[in-house]
């Protein structure tokens, strides 16, 4: 049964595209974000909706939004379905904010890179609250290239696959996948929330490409095609090595590894088929058209400030717990930290921050199955 | 003295020409597969030297018929070859060394760590063995049998293996290169490796440009951006920490050595020094896989891998060095840790910091 109402938390390209998708499907949509990010919601409130362009349709449509709010904590009260789509550095602050009002019977989907559900449990644990929730993470946004072009207007491309969802507890995954398929019919069930966390495409292709092109990006103020110009054969091998380390982490958690990063490029609809090498596949894919403006602020780009501390540091923390070597991931963290003069390990997301350090492999698996620890 | 220089690259040619100018009888040799580099020298009966200290004319240097014969005849043996050839040349040189010969590795350090155990095995501790940390020149090939070389003004460190013979070796080398400075031990000459410090971080962070853009790049001019210079500084800092942990007193950093070598003015922090120096005008080849490999392979395998292995042995973390190794391995699909220089390969596994220092000071391990 499809819900009639949803609260969408966030105000970036992902959240706006999700809100527009749901509005067009006839749901009553409330869009909310914290005051410091909520400036973009004014235009949406004024036009009573989001002007959205889905690239497969090629035309702009006004998707209805019932109302907007800059008070997420209260906007979610009574909502059966809450969808949160914010950058990973917003997971824990939002989870802490929502933890006081989340209540029995609510479903919270964290859409985008995984980890929001873990942050929610951690936030509830620290408040000593345990409402009966259904929590779930996706592994990545169901859209490619989602971006806010001007206030109240968003453009995005629907993916066709490669979107996985897992619930905390694991037993609720099937139910939540069927709910999510009302909006994104291609969503598949992940084995558990560790799998959706580790199928993190941005972590695999963002950091490696930026670090190995830092000397170029920092001196070019013009936007360039990051992967077309930057993913040379040697750089593609570094991307492949990061993917290989994520594969080892999945294997160490007993997750079946059938697909690699390159397969997911195909699954997401970014390229029709695999080429002779990962380098060839990337060059033939939509990644090759992706623009990047770095200049002197390259190391302040989300490809570094989000993907290093929130994805790679977490992977390294998991590797440490599982006693798996991830030298290339550790290397990228060390180089990014030294180049930016920021201790990304210290500020990043770790098992310790979630209260899961020392759980061991079995403890980690038990935690996601129980949906609590 | 009678001297033989082994190595037909620009460094070897410059050293041979210098020795000749200092009045020595000089032979030059290389392995058979590279001896074509010496054909022009044979034809013109010497080496053409264009330098910042002397006129441009041919220095009489003789191409040796064989390494064995030349070594057997020489009071001074200089090896100036890439580190990956050190083991091979050690094998070719040791059996032929004259009694009380002097044998120096000139170029990047670490060669004596390979040579000394072989001298011990052959019961040849009479040989005066040593190494520098870098070439005493900025040198490049200027045509067949011809080299363009400028003497550095300092920053060239020299140590004997074992260090008990430092003074004796210094006396000989100062007569050739008056600007060499005494290092405490060969750990210093092995770890103060300018190429590893300033080349690897730039190559890693300009990887696609090196591989893809044809026609050459201003390697540092384009690649040494502010954040890349912070990486250079981080690698240097880890190497400095290793030196300090091994009890060495020289606290100079890469920045200071750039100034000391005469490659940059003393104008501020590392970034300012690098931008004001001559490195930013250096062009390196680019446009294929080899352009990347040639900047990374040796420095990673023979310096950074050794530094990482030392760090592990003495409990000093080297995350940025380890990061460069791991990324370079992935990028070039090579096992640099497997094929490179480690304490284990040098027969020094199991030693702690004081054991490692004792070894280079005395030539012997405690056991």
- Cβ of A119: how many Cβ atoms within 10 Å? 26
Q: Which of A301, A327, A335 to mutate to test the interface with B (most CBs of B within 10 A)?
A: A335
Q: How far is A354 from chain B (nearest CA, A)?
A: 25
Report whether A193 contacts A168 (CB < 8 A): yes
Pairing of strands B137-141, B146-151: antiparallel
pLDDT score for B32: 84
Q: What is the Cα–Cα distance from B303 to A209, expressed in whole angstroms?
A: 25
Q: What is the pLDDT of residue B367?
A: 63
pTM: 0.95
Residue B34: the pLDDT is 84
Q: Do B207 and A237 touch (CB under 8 A)?
A: no
State how far the Cα of A300 lies from the Cα of A342, in Å rounded to an integer.
10
Decide: A181 and A306 in contact? Cβ < 8 Å. no
DSSP-derived letter for residue A242 is H
Query: In this predicted model, what pLDDT tens digit does every residue of B266-294 receive, in sequence order?
Result: 999 999 999 999 999 999 999 999 999 99
- State how beta strands A67-69 and A28-32 pair: parallel
Give the closest residue to A116 by CA, choosing from A87, A142, A73.
Answer: A87
Q: Do A338 and B320 touch (CB under 8 A)?
A: yes
If pLDDT is split at 50, 70 and 90, which confidence band does B35 have?
confident
Q: Which two tokens stand for residue B249?
A: 């007193």
Q: Report DSSP letters for B145-203, one per residue.
A: TEEEEEE-SS-EEEEESSGGGHHHHHHHHHTT-TTEEE-SSHHHHHH--HHHHHHHHHH
Structure confidence at residue B31 as a pLDDT band (50, 70, 90): confident
- A75-88 pLDDT, tens digit per residue, is 999 999 999 999 99
What number of other Cβ atoms are within 10 A of residue B366's Cβ?
10
- The answer to whether the Cβ–Cβ distance between B208 and A331 falls below 8 Å is no
Query: Partners of B48 in the beta sheet?
Result: B58, B146
* Residues B206-225 pLDDT 10s: 999 999 999 999 999 999 99
| CB atoms B211 and A234 under 8 Å | yes
In chain A, the residue whose alpha carbon lies closest to the alpha carbon of B236 is A338
Check A235 against B207: CB less than 8 A apart.
Answer: yes
Q: What is the SS3 assignment for B241?
A: helix
Q: Which two tokens stand for residue B349?
A: 């596994």
B231–A328 CB contact, under 8 Å: no
The residue with greater pLDDT, B53 or A235, is: A235
Q: In terms of DSSP bridges, do strands B180-182 and B156-160 run parallel, antiparallel, or are they unpaired?
A: parallel
Instruction: Give me the mean pLDDT over the B303-308 stretch.
Output: 98
Identify the three-state secondary structure at position B133: coil
Q: What is the per-residue pLDDT for A38?
A: 87
Residues of chain A with pLDDT under 50: none
- What torsion do the CA atoms of A361, A362, A363, A367 make, to the nearest 10 degrees? 100
B64-116 pLDDT, tens digit per residue, is 999 999 999 999 999 999 999 999 999 999 999 999 999 999 999 999 999 99
| Distance set, CA A244 to CA A14, A170, A212, A239, A315 (Å) | 28, 25, 18, 9, 12
- How long, in residues, is chain A? 373
Nearest Cα residue to B316 out of B250, B236, B239: B239
- The answer to whether the CB of A63 falls within 8 A of the CB of A153 is no
Q: d(Cα A145, Cα B116) in Å, to the nearest integer?
A: 60
> Comparing C-alpha atoms, which of B321, B307, B290, B293 is closest to residue B188?
B307
Residue A324: name the closest of A261, A260, A255, A252 by CA: A252
Nearest CA to B229 out of A339, A114, A331, A155 is that of: A339
With beta carbons less than 8 A apart as the criterion, state whether B308 and B299 touch.
no
Span B339-349, pLDDT tens digits: 999 999 999 99
- What is the predicted pLDDT for the residue at A182? 96
User: CB of B206 within 8 Å of any CB in chain A?
Assistant: yes
- Cross-chain Cβ contact B326/A214 below 8 Å: no
B170 touches chain A (CB under 8 A): no
Looking at the predicted structure, is the pLDDT value of residue B125 above 70?
Answer: yes
- Asked if B231 has any chain A CB less than 8 Å from its own CB, the reply is yes
What distance in Å separates residue B267's CA from the closest CA in chain A? 22
Interval A242-270: pLDDT, tens: 999 999 999 999 999 989 999 999 999 99
From B221, which residue of chain A is nearest by alpha-carbon distance? A215
Distance in angstroms (rounded) separating the CA atoms of residues A214 and A261: 23
> What pLDDT does residue B280 have?
96
The whole-number pLDDT of residue B301 equals: 97
- CB atoms < 10 A from the CB of B160, how many? 28
The dihedral sign for the CA sequence B142, B144, B150, B152 = positive
Hey, what are B175's tokens? 């007569």
- The two counts, helices (H) then strands (E), for chain B are 18, 14
Chain A residue with CA closest to B233: the answer is A338
The minimum CA-CA distance between B316 and chain A, rounded to whole Å, is: 15
Please, which residues 282-321 of chain B have a Cβ atom closer than 8 Å to chain A?
A: 289, 292, 319-320
A254: phi > 0 → left, psi -120 to 50 → alpha, else beta; which?
left
The torsion angle over the Cα atoms of residues B208, B213, B218 and B219, rounded to 10 degrees, is 30
> Looking at CA atoms only, how far is residue A331 from chain B in angstroms?
3
Instruction: Determine the pLDDT at residue A220.
Output: 85
What CA–CA distance (Å, rounded) separates B73 from B54? 28
Q: Smallest Cα–Cα separation from B106: which of B199, B22, B3?
A: B3
**Burial (Cβ within 10 Å: 0-12, 13-18, ≥19) of residue B340:** buried
**Torsion angle, CA of A205/A207/A212/A216, rounded to 10 degrees?**
100
């Amino acid at each position: 049964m499809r819900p009639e109402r949803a609260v969408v938390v966030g105000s970036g390209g992902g959240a706006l595209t999700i809100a527009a998708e749901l509005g067009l499907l006839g749901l009553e949509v409330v869009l909310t974000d914290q005051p410091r990010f909520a400036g973009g919601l004014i235009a949406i409130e004024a036009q009573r909706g989001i002007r959205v362009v889905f690239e497969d349709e090629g035309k702009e449509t006004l998707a209805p939004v019932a109302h907007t709010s800059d008070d997420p904590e209260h906007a979610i009260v009574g909502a059966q379905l809450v969808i949160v789509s914010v950058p990973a550095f917003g997971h824990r602050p939002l989870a802490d904010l929502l933890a006081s009002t989340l209540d029995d019977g609510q479903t919270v989907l964290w859409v985008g890179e995984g980890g929001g559900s873990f942050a929610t449990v951690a936030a509830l644990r620290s408040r000593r609250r345990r409402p009966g929730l259904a929590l779930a993470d996706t592994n990545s946004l169901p859209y490619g290239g989602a971006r806010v072009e001007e206030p109240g207007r968003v453009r995005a491309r629907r993916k066709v696959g490669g979107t996985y969802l897992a619930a905390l507890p694991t037993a609720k995954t099937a139910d939540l996948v069927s709910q999510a398929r009302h909006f994104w019919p291609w969503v598949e069930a992940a084995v558990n929330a560790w799998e959706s966390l580790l199928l993190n495409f941005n972590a695999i292709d963002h950091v490696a490409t930026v670090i190995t092109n830092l000397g170029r990006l920092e001196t070019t103020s013009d936007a360039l095609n990051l992967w077309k110009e930057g993913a040379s054969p040697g750089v593609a091998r570094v991307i492949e090595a990061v993917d290989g380390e994520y594969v080892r982490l999945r294997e160490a958690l007993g997750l079946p590894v059938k697909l690699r990063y390159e397969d997911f490029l195909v699954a997401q609809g970014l390229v029709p088929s695999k080429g002779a090498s990962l380098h060839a596949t990337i060059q033939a894919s939509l990644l090759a058209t992706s623009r990047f403006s770095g200049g002197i602020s390259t190391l302040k780009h989300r490809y570094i400030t989000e993907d290093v501390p929130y994805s790679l540091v977490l992977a390294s923390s998991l590797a440490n717990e599982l006693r798996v070597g991830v030298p290339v991931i550790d290397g990228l963290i060390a180089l990014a930290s030294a180049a930016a003069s920021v201790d990304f390990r210290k500020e990043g997301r770790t098992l310790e921050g979630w209260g899961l350090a020392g759980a061991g492999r079995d403890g980690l698996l038990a935690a996601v199955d129980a949906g609590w620890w | 003295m009678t001297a033989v220089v082994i190595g037909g690259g620009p460094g070897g040619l410059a050293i041979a020409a210098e020795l000749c100018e200092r009045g020595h009888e000089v032979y030059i040799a290389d392995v058979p597969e590279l001896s074509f580099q010496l054909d022009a020298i044979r034809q013109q009966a010497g080496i053409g030297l264009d330098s910042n200290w002397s006129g441009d004319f041919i220095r009489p240097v003789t191409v040796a018929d064989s390494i064995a014969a030349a070594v057997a005849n020489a009071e001074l043996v200089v090896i100036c070859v890439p580190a990956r050839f050190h083991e091979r040349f050690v094998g070719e040189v040791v059996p032929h060394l004259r009694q009380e010969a002097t044998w120096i590795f000139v170029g990047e350090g670490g060669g004596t760590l390979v040579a000394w155990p072989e001298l011990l095995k052959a019961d040849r501790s009479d040989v005066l063995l040593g190494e520098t940390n870098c070439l005493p020149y900025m040198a490049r090939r200027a045509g067949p049998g011809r080299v363009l070389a400028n003497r550095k003004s300092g920053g060239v460190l020299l140590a004997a293996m074992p260090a008990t013979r430092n003074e004796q070796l210094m006396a000989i080398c100062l007569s050739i290169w008056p600007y060499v400075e005494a290092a405490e031990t060969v750990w210093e000459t092995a770890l103060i490796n300018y190429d590893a410090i300033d080349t690897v971080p730039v190559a890693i962070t300009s990887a696609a440009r090196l591989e893809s853009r044809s026609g050459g790049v201003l390697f540092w001019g384009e690649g040494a951006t502010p954040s890349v210079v912070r990486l250079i500084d981080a690698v240097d800092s880890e190497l400095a920490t290793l030196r300090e942990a091994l009890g060495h007193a020289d606290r100079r950093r890469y920045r200071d050595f750039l100034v000391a070598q005469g490659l940059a003015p003393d104008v501020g922090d590392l970034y300012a020094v690098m931008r004001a120096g001559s490195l930013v005008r250096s062009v390196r080849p680019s446009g294929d896989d080899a352009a990347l490999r040639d900047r990374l392979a040796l420095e990673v395998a023979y310096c950074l891998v050794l530094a990482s292995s030392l760090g592990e042995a003495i409990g000093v973390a080297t995350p940025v060095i380890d990061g460069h190794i791991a990324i370079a391995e992935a990028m070039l699909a090579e096992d640099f840790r497997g094929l490179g220089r480690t304490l284990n390969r040098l027969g020094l596994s199991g030693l702690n910091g004081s054991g490692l220092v004792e070894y280079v000071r005395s030539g012997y391990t405690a056991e």
